[in-house]
Structure 1
Amino acid sequence: MTLSQLSTPLTKDQAYALVDAVMAREDIAITASAHENEDTGEWVFEATCDSAPDVEAFNRIARETLGGNVSFAVEAIDPTVNWVAKSLEGLQPVVAGGFYVHGSHEEHPAPSGLTAIRIDAAQAFGTGHHETTTGCLEAIDRALKRKRFRAMLDMGTGTGVLAIALAKRTHLPVLASDIDPIAVTTTVENARDNGVGRYIIAIEATGLDHRQIAAGAPYDMVVANILAGPLVSLAPGMRKVTAIGATVILSGILNTQANRVISAYSQQGIVLRQRIVKKEWTTLVLERV
């Protein structure tokens, strides 16, 4: 596989808007991200492609999303290097919602009273450091203090960190799905390493219409940390697979996109109960009524 990276400097809002637009497409990039250059303070949009990028397609998306032309730079990526893991090496542990998420390089034990989850940098999203993940962990912690769940689904599981959090606290089965086979493999490995391999079933699935997801319905707890666009599209399906009274935790949502997601789910009888805001990201806690 010949990997390449396409990037351009933008404002923070523009960069995140373009990330959302690109990730709503399944055929244009493996992943897209926005980050701030610590040296210059400049925000940069980056997309990783598994072949030479379709620059004109990116230009069309940029014009539609940002209302103007963007100049993209393209460079080849060394395929022998796991750039995701390399960029995340040495990250400090994260405490969120009573969970202690750490890498295997961490030498100190988890503080007393916290649930430890070991997640190493890998080719999947979810080391616990992003605001969307910490928001979900806090929402999970609060939900588990209110009620006991029996049928749980983690959509877009990434590294499996949220599924592992649910399994560690409940000691009950959790179905974890992702469209990326690497994420599925990573989740299985992380579940095993965290001692909850027998509780987590990881499957490759797009959306909610997979036969195994349907077989496990109705769910009384669903977590989906993906993107606003796909979340809106999933709203009708979410109603079909959830039980009355189910808790639905949604994240991967920019603050500016939250009302759109809330509206889509409200129309399906899944209403807002709590909103967790961390920097520019929102995590929504909803209930099927």
Structure 2
Amino acid sequence: MSVDQLSAPLTKDQAYALVDAVMERDDLALTASAHENEETGEWFFEATCDSPPDLESFVELARQTLGGKVDFSVSPIDPDFNWVAKSLEGLAPVSAGGFYVYGSHETGPVPGGLTAMKIDAAQAFGTGHHETTTGCLEAINMLLKRKKPRHMIDVGTGTGVLAIALAKRTKSPVIASDIDPISVTTTIANAEQNGVGKLIIAVEATGMTNPTIAQNGPYDLIVANILAGPLMALAPSVGRAAQKGATIILSGILQHQARGVINAYARQGMTLTQKLQRKEWTTLMLEMK
């Protein structure tokens, strides 16, 4: 299968604006992201696709979004090479919310008093290093100091790191769902590796449309670390699945997108109780009234 990558150097605001515009266009079939070169400080827009990209439509969208012509490059990438693992290998352990997330390459002792999770870089999102994940771990820790949820789901689980964190702390079952079958497989393996294989129920699902998800609801804790657009689209489903008094933890939200997500969930009867900000990312804690 041929996989192509589009890339362009832009300002930070331009890169995020173009990501938002691309993600709203399903017909382009592009997966977009914005990132900073830590050495130079330069920001880039990147998008990948598994079929020849519609360059004409993309150029027109970029022109409309940014108000002018955008110079970009198209290059093929090897679909069989695990770029995620390559880019993350050797990363230092992360401590957040009383959790300690580390990879197999880490040989040092686990600090005392922390809940350890071994999560290796994989073809799924979630090693604990991104601000959206650390924000969720901190939110989970805050919640567990007040109460112990018993009916939990992690939507868009990635590597399963948040579901595993919940299972290790609560000793209760957690539904871990993802649209990507690779994420489901990765989550199962990680749950076994971390001694909570019997507590993690991993399912492939688009949003919350899965019989297993329906049968295990309603939920008193719903966690979703995805993107602002999908989170807003998911709000009605979350509202139907959440029991009264449930906590909803949402992340994958840029600061300027937070108000839109809060409003979408307010329309479903959920109110904001806490907002955590890590760099440009926001994690929201809400309660179902």
Q: Bin the TM-score by the shorter chain.
A: over 0.9
For the residues of structure 2 that align with 1:193 and 1:250, how far apart are their CA atoms?
26
Alignment match, 1:203: 203
For the residues of structure 1 that align with 2:174 and 2:66, how far apart are their CA atoms?
39
Report the CA distance shift for 1:62/1:30 in structure 2 as closer, same or farther (over 3 A): closer
Asked if the contact 2:275–2:282 (Cα under 8 Å) also holds between the matched residues in 1, the reply is: yes
Alignment match, 1:284: 284
Alignment match, 2:162: 162
- Correspondence 1:130-169 to 2 at 5 A: 130-169=130-169
Asked if the contact 2:127–2:161 (Cα under 8 Å) also holds between the matched residues in 1, the reply is: yes
Report Cα offsets for 1:188-226 as digits up to 9, x if no partner.
111111111111111111112222211111000000000
Alignment match, 2:92: 92
For the residues of structure 2 that align with 1:106 and 1:29, how far apart are their CA atoms?
37
- Correspondence 1:1-289 to 2 at 5 A: 1-25=1-25, 28-29=28-29, 31-289=31-289
For the residues of structure 2 that align with 1:27 and 1:277, how far apart are their CA atoms?
33
Distance apart, 1:110 and its partner CA = 1.3
For the residues of structure 2 that align with 1:87 and 1:29, how far apart are their CA atoms?
24
Between 239-248 and 6-15, report the one with greater CA deviation.
6-15
Gapped regions of structure 1 (runs ≥ 5): none
RMSD value over aligned CA atoms? 1.6
Report Cα offsets for 1:225-268 as digits up to 9, x if no partner.
00111111111111100000000000000000001111111111
Using the size of structure 2 for normalisation, the TM-score is: 0.95
Q: Give the percent of matched residue pairs that are identical in Structure 1 and Structure 2.
A: 69
Asked if the contact 1:103–1:118 (Cα under 8 Å) also holds between the matched residues in 2, the reply is: yes
For the residues of structure 1 that align with 2:64 and 2:168, how far apart are their CA atoms?
44
Q: Residue 52 of structure 1: SS of its match in structure 2?
A: coil
Asked if the contact 2:8–2:71 (Cα under 8 Å) also holds between the matched residues in 1, the reply is: yes
Distance apart, 1:26 and its partner CA = 5.2
Letter of the 2:92 counterpart: Q
For the residues of structure 1 that align with 2:90 and 2:215, how far apart are their CA atoms?
40
Report the CA distance shift for 1:52/1:199 in structure 2 as closer, same or farther (over 3 A): same
Using the size of structure 1 for normalisation, the TM-score is: 0.95
Asked if the contact 1:174–1:199 (Cα under 8 Å) also holds between the matched residues in 2, the reply is: yes
Report Cα offsets for 1:74-103 as digits up to 9, x if no partner.
101123321111011100000000000110
Asked if the contact 1:221–1:247 (Cα under 8 Å) also holds between the matched residues in 2, the reply is: yes
Distance apart, 1:30 and its partner CA = 6.4
Between 219-228 and 17-26, report the one with greater CA deviation.
17-26
For the residues of structure 2 that align with 1:109 and 1:27, how far apart are their CA atoms?
49
For the residues of structure 1 that align with 2:53 and 2:275, how far apart are their CA atoms?
37
